Amino acid sequence: MDAKYAIDLEHVVRIYKRDEFEVRALDDVTIQIPAGRFVAIMGPSGSGKTTMLNLIAGIDHATTGRVAVGGEEITGMKERDLAGWRARHIGLVFQFYNLIPVLTAFENVELPLLLTNLSKADRRSHVETALRVVGLSDRMDHYPRQLSGGQEQRVAIARAIVADPTIIVADEPTGDLDAKSAEEILSLLVDLNRQFSKTIVMVTHDPRAERYVDTVYRLDKGLLVGTEPGKRAEPAAAAATSA
């Protein structure tokens, strides 16, 4: 597998068994995503988008085929090794933020660092940097209930980038946001991609996303049915402000 690709899937099949039935969530999918790209995986519900994202993030395993991320084949990794690899290389962003309500923005962002050997001072520096990058330096002591949906997603993105991952994996990051906040989150992801050379893979139903990405991969019924250039837009000035 070619190390120049951030993500390299070769003839990947993922089959789930439901009672006596087999569901082919992915069917012989081959995709190579160069490092530093911002790409979208799109398609109808049930097309295999989230399954592909879970394979890339090392959350799920291919039934057959090979998966390499960051030049490292993860197909046959044991769960313990995979967990350590994921902590070092993957930043996860979800549709519903997955913030802990009793923790402040600072404490939510700090969570991934508690599993590292960083000192308390170093953890604080990393968290403050991540919150500054997403435009929330003035909200670090706020609890999720005191933030808007767009601000909560910014905290989630700060948590995803605080350990400086190789790849950001985002599952419907704008799916629970109003139009204005969605545009700001997409612009923020563009900024992370351009300024910090982060490879970003995003699953989305949001047609606006096509204006922000380099490439769109389309799935349907587990098959890769199309690859086309995105319509990359300049990031909005609002990206540096809180939603």
Domain count, the chain: 1
Q: Is residue 7 part of a domain?
A: no
Domain-located, residue 18? no
Q: What Å distances lie between residue 61 and 16, 160, 198, 210, 232, CA to CA?
A: 11, 22, 24, 28, 32
Express each pLDDT in 12-41 by its tens digit.
999 998 888 889 999 999 999 999 999 999
Q: How far is CA 219 from the centre of its chain?
A: 18
* CA separation for the pair 154, 135 (Å, rounded): 8
Residue 21 domain-assigned (yes or no): no
In the beta sheet, which residues pair with residue 70?
Answer: none
11 inside domain: no
Q: How far apart are CA 11 and CA 26, in angstroms?
A: 9
Task: Return phi, psi of residue 69, to 5°.
Answer: -130, 125
47 within a domain of the structure (yes/no): yes
Q: What is the mean pLDDT of the chain?
A: 89
Average the pLDDT over 138-161 and give the result: 95
Residue 50 in domain: yes
Average pLDDT of the residues in 173-183: 90
Say what the pLDDT of residue 27 is: 95
Residue 4 maps to a domain: no
Q: How far apart are the first and last CA of the chain?
A: 41
**In this predicted model, what pLDDT tens digit does every residue of 185-204 receive, in sequence order?**
999 999 999 999 899 999 99
Task: Say which amino acid occupies 187.
Answer: S
Region label for 71, one of left (φ > 0), alpha (ψ between -120 and 50) or beta (otherwise): left
Q: Kindly indicate the confidence band of residue 1, based on its pLDDT and cuts at 50, 70 and 90.
A: very low
- 68 in a domain, yes or no? no
Q: By residue range, what is the domain housing residue 163?
A: 35-63+75-240
Q: Please determine, for residue 238, whether its predicted confidence score (pLDDT) is greater than 80.
A: no
Which range among 72-81, 152-161, 169-178 has the greatest average pLDDT?
152-161
CATH, residue 110: 3.40.50.300
Higher pLDDT, 2 or 168: 168
